[in-house]
Amino acid sequence: MSETDDDISEKSLFAAPPMVEQERMVEAILFASAEPVSVAELAARMPHGADPAEALVHLRKRYEGRGVALVKLGDAFAFRTAPDLGFLMRRETVETRKLSRAAIETLAIVAYHQPVTRTEIEEIRGVAVSRGTVDQLMELEWIRLGRRRMTPGRPVTFVVTEGFLDHFGLESARDLPGIKELRAAGLLESRPMPGQGSAKDDEDEEQAGAQTGQSELFED
């Protein structure tokens, strides 16, 4: 039986755009967005029948070797300056400040052990974690609250954010470098690991942080 003109017309109304057009749509959405965009968000904006996941694969290949790259950040995607051209952006940097030891250790524990509770962070560090340290890392949008543990008290957990992955150029937390690599890159000092140093020194640092607020998070 042959299809009628009405049947053909109905099908054409829901036909997906050509893949080239879908690539252009994804490209436009990502360039216009200030934040990384997930596949689900792309699908919600694009026409019925579109396949943003496939369009991303083609678009990613198209941008290989270009000045900007299409990168995956957690479950979302965004355009970022090609890593080898980062030196061109140095004038855009207003100020570079180094995280304090307490903040680095707390951030590292969350990144490498997520989801992790405050009690677990303190057990790994060997000292109490000041509320200021956690609050400031959350204000930087590098860590956020995760799901509550199904244990007595239902404690909240902490996990790293897409902003953290974006800042350090990581696709996921699985891409985190080892401790030796961090020290070689100058991101960590050659000091004892959390829990291996003087507990009194760490407690003094945390107490000082509670009094100085933002200054506790960074070193001058």
Q: Which tens digits make up the pLDDT trace of 77-93?
A: 999 998 888 878 766 54
Kindly give the residue spans of alpha helices, DSSP state H, lying in the chain.
Answer: 5-13, 19-32, 39-45, 52-62, 101-113, 118-125, 131-139, 162-167, 179-184, 199-212, 214-217
The structural domains of the chain, with segments of one domain joined by +, span 5-90, 98-219
**Rounded Cα–Cα distance for residues 187 and 5 (Å):** 67
| Predicted TM-score of the model (pTM) | 0.47
- In 3D space, the residue among 52, 54, 61 whose CA is nearest the CA of residue 28 turns out to be 52
Over residues 129-158, the mean pLDDT reads 88
Same fold, 5-90 and 98-219: yes
Q: In degrees, to the nearest 5, what angle opens at C-alpha 218 toward C-alphas 212 and 220?
A: 95
Q: What is the pLDDT of residue 164?
A: 86
Q: What is the pLDDT of residue 213?
A: 38
Which CATH code is given to the segment(s) 98-219?
1.10.10.10
Using the predicted structure, report yes or no on whether residue 11 has a pLDDT greater than 80. Answer: no
**Rounded Cα–Cα distance for residues 204 and 20 (Å):** 60
Which CATH code is given to the segment(s) 5-90?
1.10.10.10
